[in-house]
């Protein structure tokens, strides 16, 4: 069956009219449509199938409109304006505090408590008496010495040797608090022999500072006077040619820096170049042949 399409209807309106006529009375007015192309009855059925909405699967669940909503209707406020929540028996059981064991005893309210008469009249055993004794120090243990002690008669009548007296003498510091002395007042006197000695010719030559090279020149100042010859000098033709900026006509846009010239391709390396291209013998390693 072939249906002509009308000029006065657009394609969506035509399809709507064709599908509506097909669903209502199944008798289509074929003379009401006229167009340059034609549409078959099978194509109408296909369009009707594609126009129907896609069915949702049975396990489909619509997205929540809010993350704070539950699976059921949200709770509403009660008569007093507060939300009334009905807790389950399990929630009520979990909300109860943990019960205390019957054998548990609380802490003593104070560190002072009355002592029972039985404890007062009790006699400790030998083991308790032994454990109550303090621990004795080691036999070689020496207690801290008192900063003040009695000097023995031998030490009081002893005579110090010359070495002890020399070591007991304090160091002499002439300028103890001098700001110019870096060694906290220590002075090193020069001996008389060193003051009377005379240096040799070799020492005098070594004491002289090293001189500059004969061609050494000091740093040139930033500003200097230009000589009259430089002012009156005339640049040569070559200098004038080099001083000119490069013209744009001399620049080659199609220049390829990686292109090798024909003369470079035909050149042959000299024996010296071939010798320099060889690797260092100590860095050459022979390849290992795999056994078959």
pLDDT band at 32 (very low <50, low <70, confident <90, very high): very low
Print burial letters for 62-76: b (CB count within 10 Å at least 16), e (below 16). Answer: eeeeeeeeeeeeeee
- The mean of the pLDDT values for the chain is 78
Q: Does residue 170 register a pLDDT over 50?
A: yes
pLDDT at res. 94: 92
pLDDT at res. 253: 72
Q: Taking residues 193-215, what's their average pLDDT?
A: 91
Give me 146's structure tokens.
Answer: 């008192």
Q: What is the pTM of this model?
A: 0.18
pLDDT band at 27 (very low <50, low <70, confident <90, very high): very low
In 10 A of CB 39, how many CB atoms? 19
pLDDT band at 36 (very low <50, low <70, confident <90, very high): very low
Higher pLDDT, 189 or 48: 48
Task: Read off the pLDDT of residues 110-162 as tens digits, 9 standing for 90 and up.
Answer: 888 888 999 999 999 999 999 999 999 999 998 888 888 888 999 999 999 99
């Amino acid at each position: 069956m072939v249906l002509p399409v009308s000029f006065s209807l657009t394609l969506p309106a035509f399809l709507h009219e064709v599908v509506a006529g097909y669903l209502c009375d199944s008798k289509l007015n074929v003379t009401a449509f006229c167009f340059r192309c034609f549409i078959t009855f099978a194509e109408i059925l296909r369009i009707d199938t594609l126009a129907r909405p896609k069915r949702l699967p049975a396990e489909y669940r619509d997205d929540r409109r809010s993350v704070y909503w539950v699976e059921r209707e949200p709770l509403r406020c009660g008569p007093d304006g507060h939300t009334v929540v009905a807790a389950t028996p399990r929630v009520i059981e979990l909300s109860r505090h943990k019960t205390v064991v019957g054998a548990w005893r609380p802490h003593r309210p104070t560190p002072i408590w009355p002592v029972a008469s039985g404890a007062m009249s009790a006699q400790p055993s030998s083991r308790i008496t032994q454990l109550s004794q303090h621990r004795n120090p080691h036999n070689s243990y020496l207690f801290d010495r008192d900063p003040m002690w009695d000097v023995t008669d031998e030490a009081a009548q002893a005579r110090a040797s010359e070495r002890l007296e020399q070591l007991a003498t304090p160091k002499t510091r002439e300028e103890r608090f001098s700001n110019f002395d870096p060694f906290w007042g220590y002075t090193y006197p020069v001996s008389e022999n060193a003051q009377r000695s005379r240096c040799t010719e070799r020492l005098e030559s070594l004491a002289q500072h090293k001189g500059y090279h004969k061609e050494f020149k000091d740093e040139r100042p930033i500003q200097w006077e230009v000589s009259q010859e430089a002012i009156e000098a005339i640049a040569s033709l070559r200098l004038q040619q080099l001083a000119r900026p490069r013209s744009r006509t001399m620049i080659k846009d199609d220049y390829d820096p990686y292109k090798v010239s024909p003369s470079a391709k035909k050149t042959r390396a000299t024996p010296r170049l071939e010798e320099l291209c060889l690797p260092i013998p100590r860095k050459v390693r022979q390849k290992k042949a795999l056994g078959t």
